[in-house]
Amino acid sequence: MPVPSIAEVRASNSAFDFPYVPIALITGGTSGIGKAIAEDLARITHGNVHIILLGRNRAAAESIISSFPRPTSPEAIHEFIECDVTLIKNIEKVTLDLRARLPRLNVLVLAAGAIDLKGRNETEEGIDRKLELAYYSRWKFLFDLSPLLHTAKEKEQVASAMSVLGPIRAGKIDLDDLGMKKRYGLSKFSHAAATYTDLMVEAYAERYPDVSFIHIYPGAVRTPLLNIFSHWTLIPFNWLFRAMVYPGSVPPEYCAHWLVWTLLLPEGGASRWGEKGKRLGPNPYYSGSQVVEKLWNHTEAEIERALAVPS
């Protein structure tokens, strides 16, 4: 497939015909890339979309929703769900609610994340916080909501799930230390998060082959995630880091056009994408059912263990 221009991408998105009101859930939807995707979906549907923004900042969500075009369909709903996705229990509470009230799900965007320079930092459920945001939380959303995506596909509608992360960072992982509890480092984390995600989309595509499961690298994007220093003595260095990254980065709105275009492609199965519509090949380090199932079994056990931790 030839890589389209940004003008072609915008035109394709704007011309996309939804003969139904699509339902979209966007985690990390109150800022950065998630916010921009929500705004683009609202734009191309003229507000006639059921958008669920999931995040922690209600004021930001209300501001975003107020900017959406006014819908003409009674089925169009623009709503916010407050949820801290660093805890698996919180995610299960949300997905139980959604499965009870949504007839289907057309678009699932997993964009909540965090960047810092700390080492292993466990949540109260015993999972490394960065790895939880990049992988375990997303696995849980997919596990619980893929049946709703499958229902959409059965109705011959768009059915796409996207994990916004970084397939270009895929690397070798320690198959005897899944979850990185024995050995941890920022480079190891980066390789693990990317490779785990590659294997995750393969696993879900095997179970729901008609649904599109996408792992995509958005490129360098000007979002709050560029504030990588949190200690007060280092906060001024965030300005320096952003200044270094800025020349090669793009605004979230530009990035969102490409991501929405990828979401609307008609194909099912697992796929890996780079920035600006560049399709990537399979993970160069791991493939095949044995490794995929080993990670699946580990993750399923880790999720069950996290849910059993007393609140």
Domain layout of the chain by residue ranges? 6-306
Cα(46)–Cα(123) distance, integer angstroms: 40
The residue to which tokens 């919180």 are assigned: 90
**Residue 298 in tokens:** 């580990």
Strand 23-27 relative to strand 107-110, pairing: parallel
Give residue-wise pLDDT tens across range 171-182: 889 999 999 999
Give residue-wise pLDDT tens across range 77-115: 999 999 999 999 999 999 999 999 999 999 999 999 877
Burial of 294: CB neighbours in 10 Å, binned 0-12, 13-18, 19+: middle
**Residue 168 in tokens:** 């270009």
Q: Who's near 225: CB < 8 A, 6+ residues apart?
A: 32, 113, 114, 115
**Residue 18 in tokens:** 């939804």
Are 23 and 105 in contact, with CB atoms under 8 Å apart?
A: yes
Backbone angles phi, psi at 209, to 5 degrees: -65, -15
| Single pTM value for the model | 0.91
**Residue 96 in tokens:** 């139980």
Cα(20)–Cα(213) distance, integer angstroms: 21
The Cα-based distances of 53 to 74, 181, 274 in angstroms read 19, 32, 25
Q: Which of 45, 1, 55 minimizes the C-alpha distance to 23?
A: 45
For the chain, give the mean pLDDT: 91
Return the minimum-mean-pLDDT range out of 33-37, 98-102, 286-290: 286-290
pLDDT at residue 76 in the model: 98
Give residue-wise pLDDT tens across range 199-220: 999 999 999 999 999 999 998 8
- Percentage above 90 pLDDT, the chain: 79
Q: Provide CATH code, domain 6-306.
A: 3.40.50.720
**Residue 69 in tokens:** 């075009």
Backbone angles phi, psi at 115, to 5 degrees: -125, 125
208: number of Cβ within 10 Å: 20
Q: Which of 117, 110, 124 minimizes the C-alpha distance to 162?
A: 110
Per-residue pLDDT, averaged over 4-21, amounts to: 96
Q: What share of the chain is helix, strand, coil (3-state, %, to 5)?
A: 50, 15, 40
**Residue 252 in tokens:** 């979230």
Instruction: Name the band, by pLDDT with cuts 50, 70 and 90, for residue 305.
Output: very high
Are 161 and 213 in contact, with CB atoms under 8 Å apart?
A: yes
